[in-house]
Structure 1
Amino acid sequence: MRTEDLIKALDADARSKAMPLGPAWWAAFGVAAVVAAMVFFMTIGPRPDIMPAMHTMRFMSKFVFTLALTTSAFALIRALSTPGAASRRAKLWMLVAPALVVIAVILELFAVPEADWGRRLVGSNMMICMSFIPLIGIGPLAIFLGMLRYGAPTRPVLAGAAAGLLAGGLAATFYAAHCFDDSPLFVATWYTIAIAILTALGALGGRLFVRW
């Protein structure tokens, strides 16, 4: 069978599902958000001073990064789960979140004395960050990998990695409400590592469970 014929067959299979793929993705994301919220509130919950913290730019900037990542990863995984769908634009949008973090880090380096750079980078919750972002995100990751099987991705490893990025962005959004380390230096380092763990797990899951 030619590649073009395979893609058409997969696309026809994806369209024949009981629920169209687009609404199914929104439903899956809603369920994943509920699962992440349950894990978050049953374990660490928001920081006690969250209301005053919401009036600070550093605290709110964390959500700008995590929500940008979540939004762009959601667009990418929807494109990758549909055979023949264009994903180039969605891939380009994935550059937004890293670019925002880089800008925030540069501004932080100008605003903070060099002697404080190391302390702000290490923070006080490094291990909690790298533990709880994957913990909060593992349930959503399983849901997103299941949705990839509901669709018909032609690049399962890449689609799985996108699922990990989406789960990581969602989990990091919840974790950011608990995290006491608001410096962009901390976010750029430890949030990225924690999200990368979920991305690697997603790529592995795509290879093992989303193959055709």
Structure 2
Amino acid sequence: MRTEDLIKALDADVRSKAMPLRSAWWMAAAAAAVIAAVVFFFTIGPRPDIMIAMHTVRFLAKFVFTLMLATTAFGLIRALSTPGASTARAAAWMLAAPLLVAVAVALELFMVPEPMWSTRMVGSNMMICMGFIPLIGIGPLAIFLWMLRYGAPTRPVLAGAVAGLLAGGLAATFYAAHCFDDSPLFVATWYTLAIAILAGLGALGGRFFVRW
């Protein structure tokens, strides 16, 4: 069987599912958000001064970064789970979150004296960040990997890694409501490393569990 015929057969199989793949992904995203919320609120919860923090640009900027990552990863993973679908535009949008963080870091370096750079980067909650973003994101990651099996990705390792980025963006959005470190330097360093853990786990999951 030619590759083109195989892709068409996989696409037909995906379309013949009891629930359309597009609807299934939205339901999976909703379920993942509920699971992440439950873990978040039953473990660390929001910071006590969140109502005050919400009036600061640096606090709100964290949600712009994390939601942008989750939104673009959601678009890409939906494309990757559909055989034959174009992924170029969705993949290009994945650059948006890193670019926003890079701009924020550049502004921070310009506005903050150099002796304070390392203090802002290290922060006061780096170990909590590294532990709780993966903890909040592991349930959503499992859901997204299961959804990849519902679809038929032709690049399961890449799809699994994107599932990890999606879970990481979702988890980081919840964690940002708890985090007292609002510096873009902190976000660029520790949020990225924590999300990378989930991306690595997702790639492994794609390698061993997402097969067709």
TM norm structure 2: 0.99
Residue equivalent to 2:71: 71
Give the Å deviation of 1:61. 0.5
Give the Å deviation of 1:188. 0.1
Give me the whole-angstrom Cα distance separating, in 2, the residues matched to 1:83 and 1:6.
9
Residue equivalent to 2:170: 170
Give me the whole-angstrom Cα distance separating, in 2, the residues matched to 1:100 and 1:41.
28
Residue equivalent to 1:195: 195
- Number of equivalent positions: 212
Residue equivalent to 2:148: 148
Q: How does 1:71-90 map to 2 (within 5 A)?
A: 71-90=71-90
Residue equivalent to 1:7: 7
Residue equivalent to 2:32: 32
Give me the whole-angstrom Cα distance separating, in 1, the residues matched to 2:12 and 2:209.
21
State the one-letter code of the partner of 2:194: A
Residue equivalent to 2:104: 104
- Segments of 5+ residues of structure 1 without an aligned counterpart are none
Residue equivalent to 1:160: 160
State the one-letter code of the partner of 1:199: A
Cα-to-partner distance string for 1:131-163 (whole Å, 9 max, x where unaligned): 000000000000000000000100000100010
Residue equivalent to 1:128: 128
Residue equivalent to 1:118: 118
Give me the whole-angstrom Cα distance separating, in 1, the residues matched to 2:17 and 2:125.
44
Q: Which runs of 4+ in 1 moved over 4 A?
A: none
Q: Give aligned-pair identity as a percent.
A: 81
Give me the whole-angstrom Cα distance separating, in 1, the residues matched to 2:52 and 2:152.
46
Give me the whole-angstrom Cα distance separating, in 2, the residues matched to 1:141 and 1:12.
26
Give the Å deviation of 1:2. 1.1
Give the Å deviation of 1:79. 0.2
Give me the whole-angstrom Cα distance separating, in 2, the residues matched to 1:9 and 1:123.
52
Cα-to-partner distance string for 1:26-61 (whole Å, 9 max, x where unaligned): 000000000000000000000000000000011000
Give me the whole-angstrom Cα distance separating, in 1, the residues matched to 2:3 and 2:9.
10
The alignment status of 1:204 with 2:204, answered yes or no, reads: yes
State the one-letter code of the partner of 1:113: P
Give me the whole-angstrom Cα distance separating, in 2, the residues matched to 1:60 and 1:198.
23
State the one-letter code of the partner of 1:168: G
Cα RMSD over matched residues?
Answer: 0.4
Residue equivalent to 2:49: 49
State the one-letter code of the partner of 2:53: A
Give the Å deviation of 1:211. 1.7
Give me the whole-angstrom Cα distance separating, in 2, the residues matched to 1:84 and 1:108.
42
Cα-to-partner distance string for 1:3-24 (whole Å, 9 max, x where unaligned): 1111011101101111000010
Give me the whole-angstrom Cα distance separating, in 1, the residues matched to 2:82 and 2:159.
10
